[in-house]
Chains A and B, each alone.
Chain A
Amino acid sequence: MAYVPGNPVTAVVERIEIQKLREGEHLILGFSIGGGIDQDPLQNPFSEDKTDKGVYVTRITPGGPADKAGLRKGDKIMQVNGWDVTMMTHDQARKRLTKKKEDVVRLLVTRKSLEEAVKKSMGHSYKQ
C-alpha cells in the first residue's frame, strides 16, 4: 500500500456497496473518515507507511449501513463511485461521499488482510 512516487499504485481491493440511510433530512453512511493530502500522515494509526496520505476509515457505527456492507475499521478508501480518492483533500473526499443526489456509494477499499489472503491463495495454487 505504500506509495512510491512515479510508479502506479497497485493494491488488492474489495468492492463494497453501501446503501445510504435516510435519517431525517440527512443521508448517512455510518462511518468516519480520516486522512487526506492536507492532513498529517504521521498521526494516522491505521496506515502502515506513515507517509501515506490516503483516506482511511477511522470508525464504524455498529449496525450502520457501512457495517452491514462489510466495511471495516482501518480500510483505506481507493475509489468512491469511480472517483479516485487516494490523492484528495479531506474535505473533497467527504464531499464525494456525501453527495445528496446519490443513494448508493460504491467503494473500492483495501486492507492488509486482503493482500495476505491473496498471497496465501497464490501460495496454495503454487503448491498445487
Chain B
Amino acid sequence: MDTESTHSGYSYHSSRSGRSNRHGDRSRERHKASSSKDSSRSERSVVINPPDTPSQDSPTDMRDDNWGETTTAVTGTSELSVSQEEVVGLGKGIQDRTQGFRRYLPLAVGSCVGLLVLATPLVFLLLPAVMWPDRLQACGAACEGLFLSISFKLLILLVAIWALFLRPGRASLPRVCVYRAFLTTLTLLLTMSYWLFYGVRILDAQDEDYHGIVQFSVSLVDSQLFVHYLAVVLLELRQLQLCYSVCVIRSTDGETRHYNIGQLSIQRAALSILEYYYRDFPLHNPALLSASKHRAAKHLAGLKVYNVDGAQSGNGNQSRAMVTAASKRKDSAHNELYYEEADYERRVRKRRARLVVAVEEAFTHVRRMKKEDERASPSDIMDVREAALAIFPSMARALQKYLRTTRRQHCHSMESIQKHLAFCLVNNMSPKAFLEAYLAPGPTLQYGPERWMADQWTLVSEASVTSGIKEGTEFLLKCLDFSLAVTVKSIPYIRLTEEYIDPKSHKFILLLQSETSV
C-alpha cells in the first residue's frame, strides 16, 4: 500500500508537466532509456531537445558540433530535494497568521457595536440619576414598569445580536458584504443620533422628567430591535427564496451539477457553491486525465514539423513523410481509443469481481461474539481493531490491485482502510457496504484536506463581486489544479391557473365493436 500517498499526488503533477515539454518522436526515441512509465514515482529526468538536423553537407561549419547535444535537464521530485508540496506549505504558514486576523475582524466589529448598542440605554438611564439626583422627579409605577420592559428587551436584543452577528465566520470573502456594512452604519447612525438628541435636550437642559427619559430609552431599544429585524430579513431571509439555477462545471473532467439558489451577491453565491462542491463533487483525480493529455500530445507532435536550421533540400522529403505518418496516426487515434477503453473496462470489471469475492470471503471469517462464545479461548476473542487487522491481509492485495487499476490508490492509505473496516465491523455492515467506499469516488469532503487539491480559491468575475447575481452572470472559481465555471439562469416565472372539475362529471362510454353472425 502507498504510505507516502500525498507525496505521490504532487510528484505526479510535476512529472506530468515535464512530459508535455518533449517535442516529437525523435527525441523520445533517442531518450527511451531515460524515460519512465506511469507507475514509478522516483526521480525522473525530462530532457528537452530541439529538433536536430542530421545532414552532413551543411555549408557553414559555424555550428558547434555539440550544440545539438546540449540538453536542458529538469529533474522531477526526488527524496532529497524539497517537493512542491513543502514549498506551498511554507507559504501557507505565513498566510495562516494573517488569515487568523482577518477571520476574527467581523467578530470584533460585531461585538464592539453590540456592546455600544446594549450599553447606551443603560447609560441614558443612569446619567440623570448620577448627575442631578436631587432635581429628578420620582419614578412612579408606570415608569418602573418601563424598567421591566427595558430589561427584557435588552436581554432579547443581547441574545439576538449574539445569534446573528457573533458567530465565527465560515469564510473570508474578498470584499466586505454590502448589507453588513449598511446595517452597521445604520445602527451606529441611530445610536449617534440618539446620543446627540440626549446630549442636547436632556443633559444640557438637565431635564427633570425621569419618566420621559425612561420612555426615550425604551424607544431606543425598540428602534434597535427593529434594526435587528431588518438585519434578519436582509442577511438571512432574502436568500431563502430560490430564484436562480446555477450550473457548475469542473474544468478538468466536466463534472456538472445544478443548484438552486436565491438572491445573493456574487461572492456569497460563490461561497454557497463551494460548500456544495465539497459535498457533491467527486474527488478530483489528476491520474485519470493523463490519457487524454497523451493523445493531445501525440496529435501536436505528429503535425507540426518545424525546420529551424534552414537547410531545406534534404529535409523536404522527411517532413512530408512525417506529415503523412501523422495524418495516418490521427485516423487511427479513434480506433485506439475505442479498443483501449474496452480493454480498460474489462480489466476493471475483472479486478472488481476478484475484489468482491475476496472481501466477501474475508468477512465470513469474523463474526460478532455471542453468548455461547464466551467459553471460547481468550486468544480468539478480539476487539474491533484486532479483528480488522486480522482479516485485512486477505483482501489487501485484491483491493490494492483494484485501486491501482482505477487510479485511486493515492486517495486511500492503509490506516484509513483499516479504520473503515473497523467501522464497518462495529456497525454490522455487509461486505458490499464496506466496498462501496472504494468502488466509486466519494465527495471531496470525505477525504482529508491533504487530498482535496482544492484549498485556496480565487473568484474571477467580470462584474463586481458584491453585485447581485442576475440571469446570465458567469464567473470562475479557480484553484491550483482546476477551475469551476459557473453560469446563472433564472428560474422561470410560473403561471399557475386553476380548473375546477366537478367530481360527478367523470363519465365514460364503452366503445364496442361487436360482430354477430346472422
Contact = CB atoms under 8 A, between A and B. Distances in A.
A57 to B, nearest CB: 10
Nearest to B516: A94
Interface in A44-90: 44, 58-59, 61, 90
Interface in A12-42: 28-29, 31-35, 38-40, 42
Interface stretch (B318-326, B444-452, B507-515): B507-515
A40 B518 contact: no
B513 A40 contact: yes
B517 interface: yes
A121 interface: no
Contacts of B515: 32-34, 58-59
6 contacts: A31-B517, A31-B518, A38-B512, A39-B514, A40-B512, A40-B513
A94 B515 CA distance: 10
Contacts of A59: 515, 517
A44 B518 CA distance: 18
Given A32-B518, A34-B514, A43-B511, 8 more contacts: A31-B517, A32-B517, A34-B513, A38-B512, A40-B511, A40-B513, A90-B512, A90-B514
A29 B518 CA distance: 6
Q: Which 6 A-B residue pairings sit nearest by Cβ, starting from the closest?
A: A40-B511, A32-B517, A43-B513, A97-B518, A34-B515, A29-B518
Contacts of B511: 39-40, 42-43
Nearest to A98: B518
Interface residues of B, number: 8
Contact of B518 (A33, A42, A43): A33
B514 to A, nearest CB: 6
A44 B512 CA distance: 11
Contacts of A32: 515-518
A58 B514 CA distance: 10
B513 A39 contact: yes
Nearest to B511: A40
Contacts of B514: 34, 39, 90
Contacts of A39: 511-514
Contacts of A61: 517
A97 to B, nearest CB: 4
Contacts, number: 40
A32 B518 CA distance: 6
Contact of B513 (A28, A29, A44, A94): A44
A71 to B, nearest CB: 11
B332 to A, nearest CB: 56
Contacts of B512: 38-40, 90
Residue in B514, B516, B518 whose Cβ sees the most chain A Cβ within 10 Å = B518
B58 to A, nearest CB: 89
B513 to A, nearest CB: 4
A34 B517 CA distance: 9
B516 to A, nearest CB: 5
A90 B511 CA distance: 13
Contacts of A38: 512
A78 to B, nearest CB: 16
Contacts of A97: 518
Contacts of A33: 515-518
A16 B515 CA distance: 21
A20 to B, nearest CB: 9
A63 B514 CA distance: 23
Contacts of A29: 518
Nearest to A35: B513
A97 B516 CA distance: 11
Nearest to A66: B518
A58 B10 CA distance: 82
A34 B516 CA distance: 7
Contacts of B517: 28, 31-33, 59, 61
A43 B518 CA distance: 20
Nearest to A41: B513
Contacts of B518: 28-29, 31-33, 94, 97-98
Contacts of B513: 34-35, 39-40, 43-44
A90 B517 CA distance: 11
Nearest to A26: B518
A112 B34 CA distance: 89
A29 B517 CA distance: 8
A43 B514 CA distance: 10
Contacts of A31: 517-518
A38 B517 CA distance: 17
A35 B515 CA distance: 8
B384 to A, nearest CB: 71
A32 B516 CA distance: 5
A58 B518 CA distance: 11
A31 B514 CA distance: 14
A62 B173 CA distance: 92
Nearest to A96: B518
Nearest to A18: B518
Contacts of B516: 32-33, 90, 94
Nearest to A64: B517
B105 to A, nearest CB: 77
Interface string B159-199: 00000000000000000000000000000000000000000
A32 B514 CA distance: 10
Nearest to A45: B513
A59 B513 CA distance: 14
B389 to A, nearest CB: 74
Interface in B467-518: 511-518
A59 B516 CA distance: 10
